[in-house]
Amino acid sequence: MTDAQQFTSQIRDDREHGASELARTCLDTLARHAGSIEVTSNEALRRQLIEFAQGLQSARPAMAAITNLIGEWIAAVERLPGGNVSTLRDDIKSISTTLILASENAVSSAAAHAAELVGTGKTVITHSLSSTVVAVFECLAGNVKAIVTESRPPSEGRRLAAKLSGLGIETDFISDQQMGLFAKRADVALVGADTIAGDGSVINKAGTYLLALAARDQGIPFYVCSESCKRSDHSSVGIVLESHDPAEFNPPRLAHVKSHNIYFDITPPHLVTAWITEHGRQHLDHLTKG
Amino acid sequence: MTDAQQFTSQIRDDREHGASELARTCLDTLARHAGSIEVTSNEALRRQLIEFAQGLQSARPAMAAITNLIGEWIAAVERLPGGNVSTLRDDIKSISTTLILASENAVSSAAAHAAELVGTGKTVITHSLSSTVVAVFECLAGNVKAIVTESRPPSEGRRLAAKLSGLGIETDFISDQQMGLFAKRADVALVGADTIAGDGSVINKAGTYLLALAARDQGIPFYVCSESCKRSDHSSVGIVLESHDPAEFNPPRLAHVKSHNIYFDITPPHLVTAWITEHGRQHLDHLTKG
């Protein structure tokens, strides 16, 4: 297995990081690869890197940030003029750096907008672990309480609780099936997204749809905060929801019984109070126009 | 600790059985106790047994079947004439037997009504483990498919999957947070109840409310099937939801983070398509009149 193949399968199997973080890790690795790969010609460098990038794009089809950011990277690399290999390596690295910085800034801006919308002194319930939602809590630390779900599998809510604990934020930690009970105690539900589909549907860790339903029934707003590169042109119907090995939650092995471990679910737009990106609060028609 | 105290704390700590089964176990134990307890007078026998019964009633306040069935037992025991101790022991045993049989018959009738309402060839999604729901599956076996949630903690959905496997029923087994995804694949949602509150709210294993919300959003009916002795006169507001040790789901121990393990949630009546008891499909006004 080549380094590129190894990294691609690492991205495919990553259960630890959200879509934004993974997309930036991909860009960073493409930059390193541009610096180290052994090639004799400008065209070989470009071709091999673009092949690597395309493999990464298809590794996590449910994560539009990966598809989109790497898509921008490919387009920019294709536009680069010819020239010697060493200059091309530097130009490609600089494309990666620019895109990573833009993504980091987008996350910070989106988080700042969300923090303003949430306001101070509120209890925020969230599901899964989103680096954007962590950034919102960083903005509000000292003036916010949290309710965090375990988010099985692999229970990334445990890592979120550790982050919030580090920020000194008072946090209630619950198993996933208690979400309905605790939505009642929250003022706001706030999640990140793996992808926002063309119709405004939110593809995120399985259970997000349940939180949105509970928020609606309890009369609290349901906010989705993410950088705009999470937008996909595909409708939610066309999006493939990742499945992983059910062994992750150790189901019983029984005749006639089939276990499932679908990682994402789809929250329809009618349950979303607001989509928040680096451009602020987005309206559905604006959002779906792209 | 006396035998009575030991049994009462066993009932308090039972995470394995539903309310109907526990109520019948209590009646059976009261009958055995009536046969074996050492007393010299008729009145001492009656008094000690009623004290034991009252302790059992308060052991699981969220389970109306226990309160109600034992309440009927106490009333019947109080009505028994005086006489010698041996006759009284026999009369008390016979009261228990009669109530147990009536409860078993009520469960069977409720299940038969629910099976008729569900119909054949359907996929039924359920949460938690209800002996009444198992009876519905027994009625429909050979002509039904099931979707079973893990129902943490303590994951009694695993035992339900084993029962359905034994009945040869094709079953999809999912972790709780996938409930929304799979409600979409079901024709009907069906659950038991620990208690039906005065306003028709359903107190059942935490997560039931989420299933009801998903059923509503997906346009499938949400049926609650239980014997009528699960009815409580209290409104859902007055009902205490049991909490257990969060260690059951092994939450992280962190500064500023408090973990919760509330076992039940409350599904409001507007999410219930039908309540089904031994008297058939109940309408809300009829149900709330008692």
pLDDT digits (tens, 9 = 90+) for B104-128: 999 999 999 999 999 999 999 999 9
A62 Cβ under 8 Å from any chain B Cβ: no
Residues of B in contact with A168 (CB under 8 A): 255-256
B151 Cβ under 8 Å from any chain A Cβ: yes
Q: Does B113-289 match B3-106 at the fold level?
A: no
The per-residue pLDDT for B233 is 84
pLDDT digits (tens, 9 = 90+) for B184-230: 999 999 999 999 999 999 999 999 999 999 999 999 999 999 999 99
CATH number of B113-289: 3.40.50.10470
The chain A residue lying nearest B169, using CA atoms, is A256
The per-residue pLDDT for A288 is 57
Scan residues 1-30 of A and list those with Cβ closer than 8 Å to B.
none
The per-residue pLDDT for A290 is 42
A239 Cβ under 8 Å from any chain B Cβ: no
Q: How confident is the model at residue B238 (pLDDT cuts 50, 70, 90)?
A: confident
Distance of alpha carbon B154 from alpha carbon A24, whole angstroms:
39
The per-residue pLDDT for A1 is 81
Query: Computed from CA positions of residues A160, A162, A165, A171, in that sequence, does the dihedral angle turn out positive or negative?
Result: positive
CATH number of B3-106: 1.20.120.420
Find all residues with CB under 8 Å of A57, minimum gap 6, and list them. Answer: A66, A67, A70, A71
Burial of B116 (0-12, 13-18, 19+ CB in 10 A): middle
pLDDT digits (tens, 9 = 90+) for B143-177: 999 999 999 999 999 999 999 999 999 999 999 99
Distance of alpha carbon A129 from alpha carbon A133, whole angstroms:
8
Distance of alpha carbon B209 from alpha carbon B241, whole angstroms:
14
Q: What is the pTM of this model?
A: 0.94
CA distance A206 to chain B (A): 6
Per-residue DSSP letter, A229: G
Name the stretches of chain A with pLDDT < 50: 289-290
pLDDT > 60? residue B236: yes
pLDDT digits (tens, 9 = 90+) for A151-191: 999 999 999 999 999 999 999 999 999 999 999 999 999 99
Scan residues 259-278 of B and list those with Cβ closer than 8 Å to A.
259-262, 265, 268, 271
Q: How confident is the model at residue B289 (pLDDT cuts 50, 70, 90)?
A: very low
Residues of A with active-site annotation: 194
Specify the CATH superfamily of domain A110-289.
Translation initiation factor eif-2b; domain 2 (3.40.50.10470)
Q: Which of B155, B177, B249, B265 to mutate to test the interface with A (most CBs of A within 10 A)?
A: B177
Find all residues with CB under 8 Å of B30, minimum gap 6, and list them. Answer: B49, B52, B53, B56, B70, B73, B92, B96
**Mean per-residue pLDDT of chain A:** 94
Q: How confident is the model at residue B290 (pLDDT cuts 50, 70, 90)?
A: very low
Q: Where are the domains of chain B?
A: 3-106, 113-289
Distance of alpha carbon B92 from alpha carbon A74, whole angstroms:
83
Interface size between A and B, measured as CB pairs under 8 A: 165
Q: Report the complex ipTM.
A: 0.94
Quick one: what percent of chain B has pLDDT higher than 90?
88
Q: Which of A217, A256, A265 sits opposite B165 (nearest CB)?
A: A256
Closest CA to B19 of B55, B75, B49, B61: B61
The per-residue pLDDT for B62 is 82
B253 Cβ under 8 Å from any chain A Cβ: no
